[in-house]
Amino acid sequence: MPVLTNEALKWHVNRLQSLPADLRQFYADIFTAQIELLPEEGFLILPPAARVESCWRQGRALASMGFPAEVKANVVRAARANICQLAMVLGKHVFFLQGAGIGVEMPEPVLAEKSYACLQELLEHYDLDPARVPAHNLQDAGVKAEWFVALAALAPLYVQYGQAVSRRFNLDGWRNGYCPVCGLAPAMAKIVAPEGKRVLECWFCATQWVFPRLKCPFCGNDRPYELGQWYLEDDPDVRAAYCKVCNRYLKVLDAEARNGEAILALENLATWQLDLAVQGRGYLPGAGCAVLPGFPRY
């Protein structure tokens, strides 16, 4: 799974002219920090193949199996170091964030300690399994700076884990609408040539997997007359695939329209006007965290 270099990231972020300059710079700094915080390969030990296959046959994400105690200790240690770096990034953008409704009134050391408390809650109550975290806490990443930092600090570790899983195991048999690695929902999808397959991307760990085009990933509805699409006339290459049963939607990009250079985490940000239009029709985004949009990868 190719991850962007910082140079490539800057080039792609600068293309997001639909976003205000201060918002572009904020996410550029967050993404740059996350790329630099990616651990070395092998940081997390993969489970045996038989255990992985058994887990997936049961429809369970790998994170639901938990990690050995020594691996958890390494994860918490690395995430705490990441928290310090990301708290500094938020400190640089304090005035913009306050205007956006994210409270960062506290000094950076206090923000780091509060974020570490959120990380400890993830460990002690949810065993570092993000899919077990109540939805309101994930949504807090959009309004509470400490949850934003905690999740953004943990994400690079799961991204590395997802990379290793994708290289070693075949994900073609996974047909669920949630991530096979961490169990969270996709933030966006893309249609890829030549077969026209729909590939979902997890908003948290950036793992990608193929999912049927005429099926809602959030509730499993596959009745065509209860599914639909909506798009803006000035950008028909990105469409909101909505479901009339669960009233949720997923943005889907025609990857060929971007010459194969689509980065879904950035496309998710750039297509905010489509979000407003679809939400105005009564549909909600399937992924619960709108402010932490994912991890940049090709």
Q: What is the pLDDT of residues 208-257, one digit of tens each?
A: 999 999 999 999 999 999 999 999 999 899 999 999 999 999 999 998 88
Q: What is the model's pTM?
A: 0.90
Q: Which residues contact 193 (CB under 8 A, 6 or more apart)?
A: 255, 256
**Which carries the bigger pLDDT value, residue 8 or residue 182?**
182
Predicted local distance difference test score (pLDDT) of residue 100: 59
Write out pLDDT tens, residues 150-159: 988 999 999 9
Say how many Å lie between the first and final Cα of the chain, rounded.
Answer: 7
Instruction: In whole angstroms, give the CA distance from residue 105 to residue 117.
Output: 17
Report residue 76 as tokens. Answer: 């918490």
**What sections of the chain are H helices per DSSP?**
6-14, 21-36, 49-57, 69-92, 94-99, 108-126, 135-139, 145-168, 264-270, 272-279
CA angle 286, 13, 32 (to 5 degrees): 85
Predicted local distance difference test score (pLDDT) of residue 141: 62
Write out pLDDT tens, residues 7-39: 777 777 777 777 778 888 888 888 889 888 888
Instruction: In whole angstroms, give the CA distance from residue 93 to residue 166.
Output: 35
